[in-house]
Amino acid sequence: MGRPTKYSKSLCAKICHTLETGHLNIEQTCESVGITCETFYAWRWAKADFSEAVARALKRHYEVIGERLLDYAEQNVIVGDKSDNARARVHDTRIKARQWFLSKIMPATYGDKLDITADVTFNVPSIITPAPIQPALKPGQQHKLPSSPQDVVVESQVTNNQSVSD
């Protein structure tokens, strides 16, 4: 028989609250509450209530990162000499890295493109049927195309539950 588990509702709430603030990542959160990352992931796998609570907390965690990204981007970076230019490039790289991360982890909110899909079915009656397939031509033969609209085969049309044929 193994050791008793540290898992409790209060520890779950503490982990989720720590994650939601956006200050600490999962590894740092685990360290702050006194569990290992292996234990954290084992609980996520084995305990549905913990997994759902952590998923909600991580969603909020990423939203907080996105909000802070805006604040971080608005910070003034004075571009004067070369050292300030280097600082501005580092600042820009950090912003781009966070944008990329958020676009991958939350594509619906922070993704680059919208995915607009629709499941639409059109029921359009077929009036004209294609001509029967001609056998392959022998060398020197030419295709015979319909010479007038009357040569095209037309199916019957149904109007008011009555069949009308051409």
In a domain, 16, yes or no: yes
Residue 34: left if φ>0, alpha if ψ -120 to 50, beta else—which one? left
In this structure, are residues 62 and 19 in contact, taking their beta carbons and an 8 Å threshold? no
In a domain, 94, yes or no: yes
CATH of the domain at 63: 1.10.10.60
Per-chain mean pLDDT for the chain: 77
Domain with 71, as residue range(s), is: 9-110
Predicted structure pTM score: 0.54
In a domain, 68, yes or no: yes
In a domain, 136, yes or no: no
Tens-binned pLDDT, residue by residue, of the chain (166 aa): 577 788 899 999 999 999 988 788 899 999 999 999 999 999 999 999 999 999 999 999 888 888 888 777 777 665 555 557 777 788 888 888 888 888 887 777 777 766 677 777 766 666 666 667 666 667 777 666 666 666 555 444 444 555 444 4
In a domain, 96, yes or no: yes
51: closest CA among 78, 16, 3, 76?
16
In a domain, 1, yes or no: no
In a domain, 52, yes or no: yes
In a domain, 152, yes or no: no
Of the chain, the percentage scoring pLDDT greater than 70 comes to 66
SS3 60: helix
Q: Can you tell me the distance from the alpha carbon of 6 to that of 136, in angstroms, rounded to the nearest whole number?
A: 78
Q: How far is CA 109 from the centre of its chain?
A: 9
**Beta strands, E only, the chain:** 157-159, 162-164
Question: How many separate domains does the chain show?
Answer: 1
Q: Can you tell me the distance from the alpha carbon of 149 to that of 116, in angstroms, rounded to the nearest whole number?
A: 41
In this structure, are residues 66 and 110 in contact, taking their beta carbons and an 8 Å threshold? yes
Q: Can you tell me the distance from the alpha carbon of 88 to that of 106, in angstroms, rounded to the nearest whole number?
A: 27
